[in-house]
Amino acid sequence: MEAVLLIDFGSTNTKVTAVDPSGARLLGTAAAFTTVETDIGEGLGEALSTLQKETGPLRFTERFACSSAAGGLRMVASGLVPSLTAAAARFAALGAGAKIVGLYAYELTDGDIAEIAALKPDIFLLTGGVDGGNKECVIRNAEALSALTPSFPIIVAGNRAASGACLAVLRGWEVTACPNVLPGLGKLAVEPVQERIRELFLKRIIQAKGLSRERALVSGILMPTPQAVKRALEVLAEGAGGERGFGELAAVDLGGATTDVYSMASGLPTGGETVLKGIPEPFSKRTVEGDIGMRYGAKGVVDAAGPERLAALSGLTPDEIRKQTEYLAAHPEAVPETPRDEALDYALAACAVETAMERHAGTLEEVYTPTGRMFSQTGKDLRTVNRLVLTGGAVIRNARAHEIASRARYAAENPASLKPAGAELYVDKAYILAAMGLLAETRPEAALSIMKKEIQRHGT
C-alpha cells in the first residue's frame, strides 16, 4: 500500500505516523526513544520497524518530518518595553515553534551580552519601537550584539526607520530585516518573522542539530514540532476545504521536557465592565513552559506546584516525590512499572497541566475608578472556549486522562485565572497532532478529516 510517512523527532521519543491521504485514513503509529546522542537514525529505524509490524509493509510516496530534538529551536529576543515590543517578539518566536531561552527589554547591558553569548541561541530576534517611535534602543542593541563573534543568525524586526542602521552595524553577521512585529500600538504583525524563522530552521538549524543526515530518508524536514502542532490546531479550529472545524479551542501538549499550551481564540474581554491591558494577543497563540515536563522537566513541576501538592495527589511522601523526580529527570526513558510509579505520573501530569494552563490563560484584576468598579484583563479570556484538547504520552497512556485534562479547566477557587470553563474535553489518543500539522501543509482537508475521526470527546 502507498502511504505518507510523518515523523516527529522529539526530545524524548521519535514518533512515526503513516496515513493514507486519499482515503483520509490513519494507518498506524509507533514510537522509539530518540537516539540524538548517537545516531538519530537508530531511533527512527526502530520506530519504523515497530510501525510496519502493525501495518504490514508500506511503500511511502512521501516522508515529512518535524523536530524538537537536541533542545529544539532555542531563541533569544529583545524589545523596548516589556509589555509591548518585547511581548510582541515573544509571541512571534513562540508562534514559530521556538523555545525562548532569553528575553530582554530596554537597552542590552554588558551583563546581558555576556549572558547571550553563554546561551548560544540558534536565532536572535532583535525588535524595539513602533514605526515612527523610538529607534535609538534597537540600534544601540544592534551595536551591543556586534561586539560578539558572529555565531547565530539575527532577525531585525523593530522600528522600520532603524532597520538600515541595524543591518549596517551587524555587517558580517547572518542578518535579515523583516517588517516590525509591532508596527503600531495594539497592532501585531508576526507572520513575516515567523516565516523567516522557519526558513532559518530549514536551512541552518537542521544541520546544526545533526538532523541533516536524515534528509535522505525524508522529503523535507518542514518545521519545529511545536509549529506543526499549532498548524494542526489551526486547521482543527478553523476548518479546511469548506469543511467546518471545531471552532475556538485550547490545547495542552504535555511533553517530557516542556509543556506547550495553545489557544485558537480571540480571548477578548466578554464583560462590559472589563478593559484589556497591554497589546491584544494573536488568535493563534502558543506558550511553552520550559521548566515543567514529565521527565527532563519533572523537578520543575515539583518547584512549581510544591512537593506537598504532589504528595496529596499521589499518596507518596514529599521526600519520595523529590527522590523519584530526580531519578526521572536523569532517566527520561523511564516508564511506570508499579502502581506507585503510575500514581506519581498522574500527579506530575495533573500539576503540569494545571500550571501550564494558568500561565497561558489571561488574568482578571478588580480595579476601582472614579466611575466605579471595573475589571482589568491581561492576556486572553478563554472561559468561553468550546473544546479543550490534551495530547502527550503521559496523558494518552494514563488511565486517569480525564482527570488530568480537567485540571486545565477554570476553577472557582482561582477566579482570577481565565481558563476554559465549560469546554468539552478531548484527548489525542493516537498522538497525531504534530503529524497532522505536517500533513496539513499539503493536504489540509485530509488532516482535518483524520483529526475529527481520531481526536474524540473524552468522558463528561
Q: Give the pLDDT band (50/70/90) at residue 460.
A: very low
Number of folded domains that form the chain? 3
What is the predicted pLDDT for the residue at 16? 94
Question: pTM score > 0.85 for this model?
Answer: no
Task: Report percent pLDDT > 90 for the chain.
Answer: 59
In this structure, the answer to whether residues 197 and 212 fall within a common structural domain is no
In this structure, the answer to whether residues 272 and 376 fall within a common structural domain is yes
* C-alpha–C-alpha distance, residues 441 and 231, integer Å: 8
In this structure, the answer to whether residues 393 and 280 fall within a common structural domain is yes
Other beta carbons less than 10 A from residue 328's beta carbon? 23
In this structure, the answer to whether residues 168 and 217 fall within a common structural domain is no
In this structure, the answer to whether residues 250 and 393 fall within a common structural domain is yes
Report phi then psi at 242, rounded to 5. 90, -10
* C-alpha–C-alpha distance, residues 366 and 165, integer Å: 44
How is the beta sheet containing 274-277 ordered, strand by strand? 274-277, 372-378, 363-369
The radius of gyration computed from the CA coordinates of the chain, to the nearest angstrom, equals: 22
Residue 333 has pLDDT above 90, yes or no: no
How is the beta sheet containing 99-105 ordered, strand by strand? 99-105, 74-79, 123-126, 154-156, 175-177
Q: What is the pLDDT of residues 349-383, one digit of tens each?
A: 999 999 999 999 999 998 887 878 889 998 999 99
In this structure, the answer to whether residues 113 and 190 fall within a common structural domain is yes
In this structure, the answer to whether residues 16 and 111 fall within a common structural domain is no
CATH number (domain holding residue 7): 3.30.420.40
What is the predicted pLDDT for the residue at 40? 66
CATH number (domain holding residue 127): 3.40.50.2300
Task: Report percent pLDDT > 70 for the chain.
Answer: 93
What is the predicted pLDDT for the residue at 36? 55
Cell matching residue 408: 486545565
In this structure, the answer to whether residues 220 and 198 fall within a common structural domain is no
In this structure, the answer to whether residues 171 and 297 fall within a common structural domain is no
DSSP class per residue in 373-393: EEEEEES---TT-SEEEEESH
Residue 220 has pLDDT above 90, yes or no: no
DSSP class per residue in 74-108: EEEEEESSTTTHHHHHHHHHHHTT-EEEEEEESSP
Residue 301 has pLDDT above 90, yes or no: yes
Residue 54 has pLDDT above 50, yes or no: yes
In this structure, the answer to whether residues 174 and 92 fall within a common structural domain is yes
Residue burial 113-133, b: 16+ Cβ < 10 Å; e: rest: beebeeeebbbbbbbbbbbeb
Structural domain span for residue 106? 74-203
In this structure, the answer to whether residues 255 and 357 fall within a common structural domain is yes
| Residues 265 and 364 sit within 8 Å (Cβ to Cβ) | no
* C-alpha–C-alpha distance, residues 3 and 300, integer Å: 40
Last residue of a domain, one of 192, 225, 258: 225
What is the predicted pLDDT for the residue at 371? 77
In this structure, the answer to whether residues 120 and 241 fall within a common structural domain is no
